[in-house]
Structure formats: structure tokens, C-alpha cells
Amino acid sequence: MEEGTELGEPYVQANREAWNNYASDYVDAGYKGWLENAPQWGIFQIPESEVGLLKDFQGGDVVELGCGTAYVSAWLARRNGNPVGIDNSPAQLTTAASFQKEFDLEFPLILGNAELLPFKDESFDFAISEYGASIWCDPYRWIPEVARVLRPGGQLVILENSIVLVLCQDWEQETVADEKLLQSQFGMHRFEDLADNSVEFHISHGEKIHLFRSCGFEIEELIELQPPEESDETRYAFVDLAWANKWPAEEAWIVRKK
Ligand SMILES: C[S@@+](CC[C@H](N)C(=O)[O-])C[C@H]1O[C@@H](n2cnc3c(N)ncnc32)[C@H](O)[C@@H]1O
């Protein structure tokens, strides 16, 4: 595991502590991800054939932002990619490194903050974040950074909680998503979890579109994910299958640097 950049903002340290504590709960899911060759995405493990996040992926230099146990990077390495994974949690990267040994598939894992990427300009053809930087980093910091390190024509794919889900959540009680709006959309940005002091970031679609465009991205798709019919109930307390079949619980953005 290589050392990346400095920590940056105070919430980066708080999120590091939170993820070091959660890491042991994510080993089994990470192992399952490494075992699979066909990607399955997100809360409801929706097959890639139904989502299409990698439909344009043709290999090349890849960065995964908030790689965690790094199964997404493993999928991309098996599809002709040269991935580099960056993550803020030493404990998550220790799991990722143990899977690399077990599956005999090595690529660089960097301990660092995706808001301050330790890479030269225009180093990558493809960038991806599955619930990594996409929700744990401030979009006004990490999206300009990923724009900097992508080559012209490079694609960024992100998967995250949908905005409607974020607005229907009670962030203090952490109960299952409601059927009514509980948060204001105007000004939405930073969401603190008082139980573990972690901080997530979610901004509205209008803000996100403006940000992508101001960083030189062209928006190719906004995919709203629906669980397949045969889906099992989720292990996450904040949303259930019934809710996710009425409104998108997850959304993916595909954007390209001009
Ligand atoms: C839900 S996991 C997603 C990762 C991966 N898809 C997985 O499931 O293993 C979120 C990851 O984001 C990482 N993270 C949080 N803040 C970060 C930051 N500022 N820079 C890089 N990674 C960060 C956490 O350490 C954690 O490993």
C-alpha cells in the first residue's frame, strides 16, 4: 500500500476513522465482488447487463476513487484495464491487498484522499466511483480533481444514492426511507451522521449538472436504477425493496471530459 497525499479537510479524518471501523463488515461483500466476473451494482446487486455502467469501457488507464475492497478495479483489470485504487481507509486497503494476493491480481493501491489526487494531469482514460468519492467526498473538491487527472475524451462513471432517497431520509433517526420528503433540496450538500461523526455529500441534480459542465464534462447519461424482480431485501437499514420499486434509490452518472 503506497502513501498518498495529506488528509485535507477535518471530515476526511472523521470518515477515515468511520471506515476503519466499518471495514470488517465489508470483507464478505468485498470477497463476493472479487469472485464475480460479471459486475453487479449497488444496494440491490443489479447485473451490469441491466445497468450498462461499463458499456463503453475498452481498457486503458483507470482510477477508482474510494476503491474500498477494490472489487470494481478487479473487474476492470480483467477487462483490459490498468487500475489504480485510491482509498482513505488503511483497513479497507488491507482487505483489498489480501484479496489481491488470494486472487493473484495485483495493481497499485494508494492510501489517500480523492479530493487531493496524487497523480499528474491527464493520467487516466477512465475513472469510476461506486459509493466511494461519489458520496464521501465533497463534489466541489473531487469532481474538479478527477477532471484534472482524466485525459480528454476520458469517461467518469459514478454510482450513488439517488437525490430523492436522500431527501426522504431522516438523517438523525436513521430509519428506513419515508414516502414523503423530509429534507430541503435547496442548499443540500453536507450530511453528518451523528452516530459515527462521518460526513456524506449529496447535491441536487441542477447543482451537479452545473458542476460537471463547469469542470469540462459532457453529460452522457443519468441512469435511475430499479431492482430486478427477483431482488432480495437489502441489508441496509435506510431503504427497503418496496420503496426502491416506487422511486429510484440509486443513480449513476456517466460523463465524459471534452
Ligand atoms: C462504501 S465503500 C465503497 C468502496 C467499494 N465500492 C467497496 O464496496 O468496497 C466507501 C469507501 O470510500 C472511502 N473513502 C471515504 N472518504 C474518502 C476519501 N476522501 N478519499 C478516498 N476514499 C474515501 C472509504 O474509506 C470506503 O472504503
Determine the topology of domain 2-257 in CATH: Rossmann fold (3.40.50)
Considering only residues 117 and 234, tell me which one the structure prediction assigns the higher pLDDT.
117
Any idea which of 127-131, 132-136, 171-175, 185-189 has the lowest mean pLDDT?
Answer: 171-175
Task: List pocket residues of ligand 1, CB cut-off 6 Å.
Answer: 12, 15, 19, 26, 30, 66, 68-69, 72, 86-89, 92, 113-115, 130-133, 136-137
Considering only residues 239 and 232, tell me which one the structure prediction assigns the higher pLDDT.
239
Amino acid found at 207: E
Write down the mean pLDDT value for the chain.
Answer: 95
Strand partners, 34: none
Crossing angle, helix 27-35 and helix 90-103, to 10 degrees? Answer: 30
- Residue 222 backbone phi and psi in degrees, to 5: -120, 110
pLDDT interval class at 85 (50, 70, 90) = very high
Pocket test for ligand 1, best of 92, 113, 135, 161 (most atoms within 8 A of CB): 92
Question: Which residue's CA is the closest to the ligand 1 atom numbered 27?
Answer: 68
Atom in ligand 1 nearest the alpha carbon of residue 129: 6
User: Cβ(67)–Cβ(96) under 8 Å?
Assistant: yes
C-alpha distances (whole Å) from 33 to each of 40, 86, 140, 183, 223 are: 8, 17, 30, 33, 22
The cell for 172 is: 438523525
pLDDT interval class at 172 (50, 70, 90) = confident
Mean pLDDT of 224-253: 91
Pocket test for ligand 1, best of 43, 131, 138 (most atoms within 8 A of CB): 131
Any idea which of 17-21, 45-49, 228-232 has the lowest mean pLDDT?
Answer: 228-232
Considering only residues 227 and 235, tell me which one the structure prediction assigns the higher pLDDT.
227
Residue 84 has pLDDT above 80, yes or no: yes
Nearest to 70 by CA among 51, 89, 54: 89
pLDDT at position 221 is 98
pLDDT at position 8 is 82
Strand partners, 190: 201
CA distance 131 to 143: 14
Question: Which residue's CA is the closest to the ligand 1 atom numbered 4?
Answer: 68
CA of 79 to the centre of ligand 1 (A): 22
Question: Which residue's CA is the closest to the ligand 1 atom numbered 16?
Answer: 136
- Exposure class string for 12-33: b at 16+ Cβ within 10 A, else e: bebbbebbeeebeebbeebbeb
Contacts for 64 with CB less than 8 Å, ≥ 6 apart: 70, 72, 73, 76, 83, 84, 85, 86, 127, 128, 129, 130, 132
CA distance 61 to 101: 21
pLDDT at position 113 is 97
Mean pLDDT of 199-208: 98
User: Cβ(105)–Cβ(135) under 8 Å?
Assistant: no
CA of 245 to the centre of ligand 1 (A): 26
Question: Which residue's CA is the closest to the ligand 1 atom numbered 18?
Answer: 113
pLDDT at position 235 is 77
Q: What is the pLDDT of residues 86-116, one digit of tens each?
A: 999 999 999 999 999 999 999 999 999 999 9
Domain boundaries, the chain: 2-257
Any idea which of 5-19, 73-87, 127-141 has the lowest mean pLDDT?
Answer: 5-19
Considering only residues 175 and 34, tell me which one the structure prediction assigns the higher pLDDT.
34
pLDDT interval class at 3 (50, 70, 90) = low
Atom in ligand 1 nearest the alpha carbon of residue 26: 9
Residue 165 has pLDDT above 90, yes or no: yes
pLDDT interval class at 174 (50, 70, 90) = confident
